[in-house]
Amino acid sequence: MQYNLRRRRLNLKIIEAAPSQQIWLEGFLKYITGEAQLAGNTIAAYRRDMEHFFRWLGNRAIDTLNVQLLSDYVNWLSKRHLAPSTLARHITSLRVFFRYLQLEGVLHANNADLLGSQKLWERMPQVLSPGQVENLLLAPQAEIDKLWRRDRAILEFFYATGCRVSELTNLKLQDVHIQEGYCLCTGKGNKQRIVPLGARAIQAFQDWMQEERSTLQQRSQNVEHWRVFRLSNEENSDRGAEGIPHWVFLSYKGRKIRREAMWELIKKYAIRVGTPSTISPHTMRHSFATHMLAGGADLRQVQEMLGHVSIVTTQIYTHVDMTRLKAIHKKFHPRG
């Protein structure tokens, strides 16, 4: 079954950056990786944003760019019909880049800070009902799915932990502590947090480990003897002694599962059980947070489990769950 996985992107032609621009870009990437410690996906996005900026910049000198010229750049981006959130990220990445140039002494002032922020509509996150989640978790079946135990464990972990898809793909065996009932998630900026695991997630994990993962692990080791010299440094670091992969969830070939594969996996089972096909791994995260608050969890506790820096980000889930707001009003208002 084919799914429409295309997303709107800028049509970016390959361009030859000026030598100074290339040096600045490489230094900027080292800065946001080492000093700012941004997440890998953020670094990749900022790199693409800077490539678009250099395309627009052309032969202009960066130190001659005033607010008016930078506004022209924002207008140039706007004509490409970007989503408001994407346009806002372009402005943010430009500010961070100019801040780096200030630190390097290339610029005396950060004119990008004077650009107005892109106004964003506060969109309510898509949330599944507990019944829809239950159907989705039971969707993988032994009769029709080759790796149904793995798929069920992935779905259970999404709902049990509220992890982002990148956090789950990067989850390692050493991060899962079954006896203690928690896993250690590494989020944005390489910040780690402890997230409890429920009984069903633990059972699904054990079934996957005992019945399926060993087979995929063996499949991966069988091809190791001819692949060992072709593995990149990153792939080699993904394996421990005797070429055993560290990752909890593996692909059919015994490698680290791609985040796109997890996205497609959720789409597949959502369509099977009649859940809205617009759901994504982040829908499971939204559902986790909303159902936790509906069950009476403290907002600060949910913030900690989600790995949100600001509680303002977590507060959106209080607007989603109107039943919780009504219950609080009834309990605490004098005339509730």
Residue type, 61: A
Active-site entry in 48, 55, 172, 188: 188
Catalytic (active site) residue 308: yes
Q: 99 phi and psi, to 5 degrees?
A: -65, -40
Active-site entry in 150, 285, 286, 291: 285
Residue 154 CB-density burial (10 A; 0-12 exposed, 13-18 middle, 19+ buried):
buried
Measured CA to CA, the distance from residue 39 to residue 28 in angstroms comes to 14
Q: 250 phi and psi, to 5 degrees?
A: -115, 160
Q: 69 phi and psi, to 5 degrees?
A: -65, -40
Catalytic (active site) residue 188: yes
Catalytic (active site) residue 149: no
Active-site entry in 46, 73, 159, 317: 317
Catalytic (active site) residue 285: yes
Q: Going by C-beta distance under 8 Å and a sequence separation of 6 or more, which residues neighbour residue 258?
A: 169, 251
Catalytic (active site) residue 164: yes
Active-site entry in 193, 259, 272, 282: 282
Active-site entry in 164, 267, 286, 291: 164
Measured CA to CA, the distance from residue 269 to residue 96 in angstroms comes to 40
Q: Report, as residue numbers or ranges, the catalytic residues.
A: 164, 188, 282, 285, 308, 317
